[in-house]
Amino acid sequence: MTTFAHKPVIEGDRTVLRPIVAADAESMFADLADEEGMRLTGSQGTFDRPTIEAWTASRGDTDDRLDLAVTDPVDGSWLGEVVINEVDPDNRSCNFRIALSAHARNRGVGTEATRLLVDYVFEEIEPAVNRISLGVYTFNPRAIAVYERVGFVREGVLRQTLRWDGAFVDEVVMAMLRSDWETGRR
């Protein structure tokens, strides 16, 4: 599978996906302080500014994953991030994840950003990707609905994979195969 040394800019009506740069550190740090955003993604732990600054500055140098900022097409402001990671070249598969800022949720931004990145992966990555997978927690039904709308299929449930606020939460495993994507585009 090709490397992700090239960081594309992908334009939609509601969003522009562009490479993450060092200047995005403050926006990402604010997202990581958003308790609801952390809950929706199942992200645990704390993050300090120097770590986030180093991480955002390094995204352009990675070739084993694709980290893109989700931005507003009018003013370029940060709306979140989308990621392709866990690339398996032998099986032509990868993982997808998305995290949106609080002000970007429930506006169709996540649906479009997901669709744009999925289309990019299936159209542009060589050799051809066959499978994009993701995991989403059962306490995030809006995300599950978005993924289904875009064409992801529920494959199963990993029981009690996350402990959040003292309770165990199940994770829904979803995937889109190239054949699903091709059928959905007709």
pLDDT in tens, the chain (186 residues): 567 889 999 999 999 999 999 999 999 999 988 888 888 888 888 889 999 999 999 999 999 999 999 999 999 999 999 999 999 999 999 999 999 999 999 999 999 999 999 999 999 998 899 999 999 999 999 999 999 999 999 999 999 999 999 999 999 999 999 999 999 875
Q: 0.75 exceeded by the pTM? A: yes
Beta-carbon contacts of residue 144 (< 8 Å; ≥ 6 apart): 136, 138, 154, 172, 174
Residue 67 dihedral angles phi and psi, to the nearest 5°: -115, 115
The residue with tokens 């522009």 is 16
Contact call for residues 47 and 29 (beta carbons, < 8 A) = yes
pLDDT of residue 36: 83
Domain residues of the chain, as ranges?
A: 10-184
What count of other Cβ atoms lies within 10 Å of the Cβ of residue 109?
23
Topology at the third CATH level for domain 10-184: Aminopeptidase (3.40.630)
- C-alpha distances in Å from residue 77, one per residue of 26, 29, 73, 89, 103: 12, 14, 8, 34, 11
What is the Rg, in whole angstroms, of the alpha carbon atoms belonging to the chain? 16
